[in-house]
Amino acid sequence: MLDTVLDREHEWKEGSLIDRQAIKGMFTDLFVAGSETSSTTVEWAMAALLQHPEAMDKVKRELREVLGNKARVEESDVDRLPYLPAVVKEVLRFYPSVAMTFYRAQETVQVQSYTIPQGTTILLNI
């Protein structure tokens, strides 16, 4: 993405809608937002595992069995680690790193006793 933006740098004109400062801001947002949500998830996972030592033991046992002496989890290991991703999903369910997501009703729908008109913005707490 950065290469594409920089390749078109010669097309920018003074006072154009996007400038070097704007691009810098966009990329900073991308990197910071991604690392902040990940670190928040890790913090909540550690807190949850400390409160539930039986879950911590199960995660450690699974990691030992699958990884052996390896120090890092690799992509090829993930399919053999069913419990660890389940813990992460449960942490995200209880402590979402992004509290809300937005949807727009594509058509009028009935949900239980509620009518949601087409075009309605729906906030979903994930």
Q: Where are the domains of the chain?
A: 16-95, 98-126
Predicted pLDDT at 93? 85
* 70 DSSP assignment: -
Can you tell me which residue has the tokens 């450690």?
Answer: 60
Predicted pLDDT at 5? 62
Helix (H) or strand (E) holding 114: strand 114-116
Predicted pLDDT at 118? 95
pLDDT block averages, 10 residues each, the chain of length 126: 62 59 72 74 93 96 94 91 94 80 86 92 74
Measured CA to CA, the distance from residue 9 to residue 3 in angstroms comes to: 10
Measured CA to CA, the distance from residue 59 to residue 71 in angstroms comes to: 15
**Cross-strand bridge partners of residue 101:** 124
Amino acid identity at 62: E
